[in-house]
Structure 1
């Protein structure tokens, strides 16, 4: 056999991070598991709420920790991100660090698979946002929708593999792992983040006990026990990093356990009710799992069961286990059965992930852990004739261990994993006493100091070998923008250097130490994440207050500070506060720009924000008197020529596009061409100041160019894409008396004519551009409503300009570049005929011998960087010929 049948489909767990009731580290969870402890408690400040009110659950003590700056987010954006998403993102970062990698430089094709619980956080966020008035509803939806959880991680960490959410009720966690294993086995990805978060809002304060339902009267889960009376909610987050086993061994990754096989099925309808499990279906799934793993039931050391502790659930699951393990034999010890739920509660969609976590700590110790809250087996359960038992004390077994993790979901999806011990780690091969280069990396100079201190603490506390520590530090430093360099032959020598670190970070171009053969990486036990960083819940007052201050203040600094506080939700703004470092991005920049222009009567564009990143820079620019340069503010120098320019190429923006469209073109132009671009007036104008007439807009741009371009001996060539080509044609006669014009260029500027009028109908627009996508690409989908409304108005006004445009007759050389493709096939015969007529010359019909360049792309694709290289080639040829002819 060939192909997948011969491949090793075993998957290694190489890292994990967790936030669980009573445990925030793998070591803490291990202690809790082997102590058979639980984390059930009453919420802080709980008060009696009726005879049947149960105020106990497995609560997460600290859920608000979120180092948003490390992820490039602003506080404004962070407060409307569901805390489940925040937990998941932060623990993905920690899990990658635990695997010994820099989260921003994860090697290979990274995937993210996640699950989350239902939450009413969106209602809380909307209530605050409605009062504050500075969030668009779509921003709230994106921030609170659990479908975005995996996608946000892929975006922040720049991961390019599969990324999506998985939901199957209480078996979702194991289904996430099953999905990740499949993706790795099929080589859709090289590394996978698999996990989930359960922290529904409003925060749990207890529940109403109802006889016959699935929640516990006692407030304690007792899986398989005679006193089991139901489930108790638990909350938290668990993330695993997975790799193909052969890759993990080759890459010297830490291997916590091996996922040897997984199986999934559904109960169907052959059961008591929709919410009840089916013992026969659960048994069938477990038997399928053993077949996939090539094992008999007697090979299983323990079963990490679903163990819900309910009157029906435990009995049905136990019946399924008895069916699978009936008549199986084990030489000694038996097969233990227990559940993590008895310690940390039922974590809804995350439950199966906690089950794997409990399995990993038992495999790591080589010992069976006692079941929490268990004394006597439920009399309705019988394990007679099987090796199954519920352990009441720890039982060392040694390595290797083999286990099953089982999960059931309301609605009938059953999922199970076969988990085994990691293969033995290789012995160290380095020369004893050799001096090893060591790097410690971080994302900023400030974080580097903390990272060095934590690395020193890790040297003192870990049991791992020195070479493994060095290898891990070096690997975690790869790709970090700030790196400190050390060298040492042992832990004591390195610790002394770390303690004496003076904050110096050498260039990252310094030679990297060669990895070579050696021990596996280890979990250093620390993260770059700032443990003090916190993000709470949306508060209407916190958002609304800066706006009120802005209205009352007359001082420029106070008005600008209020705008910054409102945009970024900053408590304090210093002169050195950076917009980018505070998490600013294009959406916030446009909002801030509107507020600044409104408060100060200016007409700045987004380029102004780029040029004035810090608060003091903006304040100085606003307080400076307006000079002559302000008159030419829409004229942008995209690229200067090398030496004295032979030609100035001036390109005008297209509809709802800015000058930046032409940036990729600059590198392709001849070095003696200076490239300027005209930015959009309408894009940044208030609704009442839109210019709706093409001739008026061309006159504004011509006057701005004359004000900005005082040197007039160098010839000009005017042009632009789409509407820009038409505006350039209208500008030409206005500039001809002042400059030497040597030609015009139109990049797919389609002139309206009756014979192809059908192309200008709204119904035909989809064949040439995705209007929704174009708007979203320029300003992001979750822009504020005022921006979305204005953009639609600008688009309508400038489409009307294009329809009214009539080419001039100045007689200049003309380069006509035509896009001959469409976004989707033209099925309508009349529209196809109109398209063919238009694309003969895009409707210009000037001189018979003028050059026409046809490019196989649609209207929007033609300005993609790949096609701009071809356009630049023709512009270089055209301007060389046209300017020579004009000059002579």
Structure 2
């Protein structure tokens, strides 16, 4: 059974954009459906390396990220010039962090405590996008604009453009960046330096339509396919991506009735230093020490770890070193009880985002009690004697059965150049009490900065709910009212049941009968019904119970632009406090191309 302590950290929100996936749900579906999201480029797409196309060792494979060059600067009130100067990594991490906060069910305008942000990026890609100015001779305007692409600003930019305050730390630890960010975020949370944390990162290969030159002694795949822990493995193709996680102390998350995806029991990081035989090659003793440290911090025995989301880059030396280190750290005579897998067979090596992809897989495996298959594994690496270890490769999806210890736990390993090692111990979330069904109609609200975004959000929500009949209407109402920032273009409906809500979401704006669409001006467009609504410092609330008349008055007042204290409404006007936070589709950004080739420069 779980022994939760004050040192445990909860993952309450996630976001991702990875090869073949616009969000973490699509990524999970790709993992379950055994989708390999490596794209093989056509010759005419490759501009940078056209002179290498005739080289037999040039591999035209990439973990391609659709719309890597697009962004919605107007949503964040970022000037167009700044948007073009921002690297795609900065843009993606800002958007992903917004999505992660919404996924957690929080409205940025109602987060008043300090939030720590720990972000990582690839300085090489940033330098390829825009070389730094000469800060000695540059004017102040140039220096101000440079904050949009400077690696040091990737974490502060999230605080700035999400309207938050707190601690910000930008990291550059190669492929372990997300692990290091989570490690430091956990420490800050436990020290009380912040009450919520955002950790993650982004990498976008520039130029994006580019393969690589294979070398026998290198880490790239000979044919573009990654074969984790396989005898034919030669490495991985390069990929791009962005990930973001929202974290809170577990005791706070439970008290606030947050949706918890997984629990972080322990984290550890270290570096090989001078012990490494070769600077860029993993060192088993140091990696084993890192894993052992994570187990010690978590306070759990290795026999209770029933799965590992491994580094598994498909390189024969690296894979063998990793398994050897795991075996050394586990120190058990038990054999073949712990599944070992890697997402790199699906998406390649996504650099600083790679660890985040592994964490998403591990967290969702714990939550949904399913371990997806590891792709492209046919026969084990001959340097790994799997029958003599605690590990096995699951080449088919398997149900994540409850182990003998009574609690599902997984380790997540990440290795990087220059000797970086990192490991996390995750545990399945504590059981959440079932949501109390609410009788009667529910008020559901949506808003966006543009009509197009609002229309897409309605469609996205309708599709999401139609595919998940188990989601309660009260939870939808609560999450969208309390967990979303209110924007100019608004839509609302009073739905007596799920079917009515789906019908209303799918109606054309021109024939809305259960809600209305309005644009805010400098002041509300009309008054409100004071007989059923009362004004408080935080906004309007209902006088008494949330009757159909009170809900209609709240709907009309909110559509007209009046601030509503939704937390007060749910707390005081529903007998059981209303619904609770659940993951729902996040904001539908108006993404357009913003790139330096548009003629914008310092």
Q: Same fold (TM over 0.5)?
A: yes
- In the other structure, the counterpart of 2:542 is none
- In the other structure, the counterpart of 1:361 is 364
- In the other structure, the counterpart of 1:538 is 596
Distance 2:125 2:330 in 1: 42
CA contact (8 A) 2:221 2:236 kept: yes
* Match 1:502 to one of 516, 519, 532: 516
Secondary structure of the structure 1 residue equivalent to 2:379: coil
- In the other structure, the counterpart of 2:570 is 514
Instruction: Determine if the alignment matches structure 1 residue 424 to structure 2 residue 431.
Output: yes
- In the other structure, the counterpart of 2:64 is 59
**Bigger-Rg structure (1/2):** 1
Distance 1:455 1:51 in 2: 48
Q: Structure 1: state its 5+ residue gaps.
A: 1-5, 545-783, 785-888
Q: 1:490-639 to 2 correspondence within 5 Å?
A: 490-498=497-505, 499=507, 500=512, 501-504=515-518, 505-510=559-564, 512=566, 513-515=569-571, 516-517=576-577, 520-530=580-590, 533-539=591-597, 542-543=599-600
Distance 2:128 2:32 in 1: 40
* Match 1:391 to one of 375, 390, 394: 394
Secondary structure of the structure 2 residue equivalent to 1:165: strand
CA contact (8 A) 2:298 2:425 kept: yes
- In the other structure, the counterpart of 2:533 is none
- In the other structure, the counterpart of 2:528 is none
- What is the count of residue pairs matched by the alignment? 531
- In the other structure, the counterpart of 2:481 is 474
Shift of 1:326: 4.2
- In the other structure, the counterpart of 1:218 is 223
Q: 1:161-310 to 2 correspondence within 5 Å?
A: 161-310=166-315
Distance 1:275 1:124 in 2: 25
Deviations 1:195-248 (A, max 9, x none): 100113232511111221222222111111000112321111111111111222
CA contact (8 A) 2:109 2:485 kept: no
Distance change (3 Å), C-alpha of 1:21 and 1:299? same
Distance change (3 Å), C-alpha of 1:214 and 1:511? closer
CA contact (8 A) 1:221 1:228 kept: yes
Deviations 1:814-860 (A, max 9, x none): xxxxxxxxxxxxxxxxxxxxxxxxxxxxxxxxxxxxxxxxxxxxxxx
Q: 1:681-700 to 2 correspondence within 5 Å?
A: none
Distance 1:37 1:528 in 2: 25
Measured on the aligned residues, the alpha-carbon RMSD in Å equals 2.8
Instruction: Determine if the alignment matches structure 1 residue 437 to structure 2 residue 437.
Output: no
Distance 1:120 1:390 in 2: 34
Deviations 1:154-173 (A, max 9, x none): 11112111112112222112
Deviations 1:546-599 (A, max 9, x none): xxxxxxxxxxxxxxxxxxxxxxxxxxxxxxxxxxxxxxxxxxxxxxxxxxxxxx
Shift of 1:147: 1.2
Distance change (3 Å), C-alpha of 1:425 and 1:126? same
Shift of 1:119: 3.1
- In the other structure, the counterpart of 2:352 is 349
Deviations 1:306-353 (A, max 9, x none): 1122232111111111222343437xx710111111211111122211
Distance 2:310 2:147 in 1: 35
Distance change (3 Å), C-alpha of 1:209 and 1:477? closer
Secondary structure of the structure 2 residue equivalent to 1:303: strand
- In the other structure, the counterpart of 1:622 is none
Distance 1:262 1:327 in 2: 21
Secondary structure of the structure 1 residue equivalent to 2:247: strand
Distance change (3 Å), C-alpha of 1:134 and 1:200? farther
Deviations 1:601-622 (A, max 9, x none): xxxxxxxxxxxxxxxxxxxxxx
Instruction: Determine if the alignment matches structure 1 residue 149 to structure 2 residue 205.
Output: no
What's the TM-score once normalised by structure 2's chain length?
A: 0.82
Distance 1:388 1:473 in 2: 43
Higher relative contact order (CA 8 A, sep 6+): 2
Distance change (3 Å), C-alpha of 1:403 and 1:28? same
Distance change (3 Å), C-alpha of 1:122 and 1:348? closer
Distance 1:281 1:510 in 2: 55
Distance 1:198 1:140 in 2: 21
